Amino acid sequence: MTGAIAGVAASAVAATGKMTLCMHQGTSRAAGYRKSLEGWAKAGIKNVELSDALLDDFLKTDTLAAAGRVFKDLGLSAVSSQAVLPDLWIPGPARAASLETWKKRCEQFSSLGLPRLYCPSVTTRKVTPDDYKATPGCIHESGEIAKQYNLTTMIEFTRTSTHLATLTSALKMIREAGHPNVRPMMDFFHFWSGLSKFEDLDLFHPGELAHAHFQDVADVPRELYDNSSRLIPGDGISPLFRILRKLAEKGYAGSLSVELFLPELQNGDPYETARQIREKSEVVLRKAKVL
């Protein structure tokens, strides 16, 4: 991030100084696009993160314009969205097809008025040093596509990936790419359960972090962690207060999007799911003095 961009971001942060609770549509996946948003709005949720898969299901029987009216009519702000695509950030056999889908996702979510879009570091093949050398070019190319739609794009480092599995690697590659439309995001589960260290948070430049996924982690051996180990904030053992205070220190004042995969939540009533998450999360956020 250039000094000018970092300065603007830091100034914007200084004007707000707080973080906002958000819900990721994957958390109520079984309810579908419309019902998840309706249930969450009833529970007092104000900020949402849209799912590419749920949007696709909605578009089988309705229009993109109607998809936008759903959250707008409910008084919800859609702050981010996802595109889960293999090899988007790295040369690979799936990259050409992923780039085409990336263009479509950028066009879709931009037309809905969303400001940002992320893609996790999805790849399944063995990664070499040469692949890392080529990664900044891939990031820059994807950023150029996002720029055409006035979107900020973000890389979600994922703990089990063979590519960009840590905060340090993601930051290094993003900075080498040097594209103004590409910024880092952080998933609390991938950060705390993976190979990243708490001290890595000091690497963030002021205002550099663009978005965050917010979860707790279960008290089980790290070797057994999987998506079922993601818990509602406050129900696990992650040092959430320390992490939140450090992010605040680094100037983060964006959304904390709760993304969970527990079957009882994904298949449950969206209102009840959101009510539980809001109640527990707000206790954590108040204690951390970021709400």
pLDDT tens digits along 209-265? 999 999 999 999 988 999 999 999 999 999 999 999 999 999 999 999 999 999 999
Q: What is the mean pLDDT of residues 109-138?
A: 96
Q: What is the mean pLDDT of residues 32-55?
A: 98
> How far, in Å, CA of 230 to CA of 192, rounded?
11
User: What value, to the nearest 5°, has the Cα angle with vertex 160 and ends 133 and 155?
Assistant: 55
Model pLDDT, residue 15: 41
Average pLDDT, the chain: 94
pLDDT at 9 over 70: no
What is the band of 10 on the pLDDT scale with cuts at 50, 70, 90? very low
Structural tokens at position 234: 């406050």
What is the band of 64 on the pLDDT scale with cuts at 50, 70, 90? very high
> How far, in Å, CA of 91 to CA of 127, rounded?
10
Between 124 and 200, the more confident residue is 200
| Segment holding 284, helix H or strand E | helix 270-287
pLDDT tens digits along 169-216? 999 999 999 999 999 999 999 999 999 999 999 999 999 999 999 999
pLDDT tens digits along 83-98? 999 999 999 899 999 9
Domain residues for 120?
Answer: 3-287
Q: CB of 208 within 8 A of CB of 6?
A: yes
pLDDT at 8 over 80: no
CATH number at residue 212: 3.20.20.150
What is the band of 124 on the pLDDT scale with cuts at 50, 70, 90? confident
> How far, in Å, CA of 250 to CA of 24, rounded?
24
Q: What is the mean pLDDT of residues 105-129?
A: 95
Model pLDDT, residue 153: 97
Model pLDDT, residue 125: 85
The percentage of the chain sitting over the pLDDT mark of 90, rounded to a whole number, equals 91
The percentage of the chain sitting over the pLDDT mark of 70, rounded to a whole number, equals 94
Number of structural domains the chain divides into: 1
The pTM (predicted TM-score) of the whole model is: 0.92
What is the band of 17 on the pLDDT scale with cuts at 50, 70, 90? low
pLDDT at 16 over 60: no
> How far, in Å, CA of 156 to CA of 118, rounded?
7
Nearest to 36 by CA among 263, 262, 282, 269: 269
Encoded amino acid at 83, one letter: A
pLDDT at 12 over 90: no
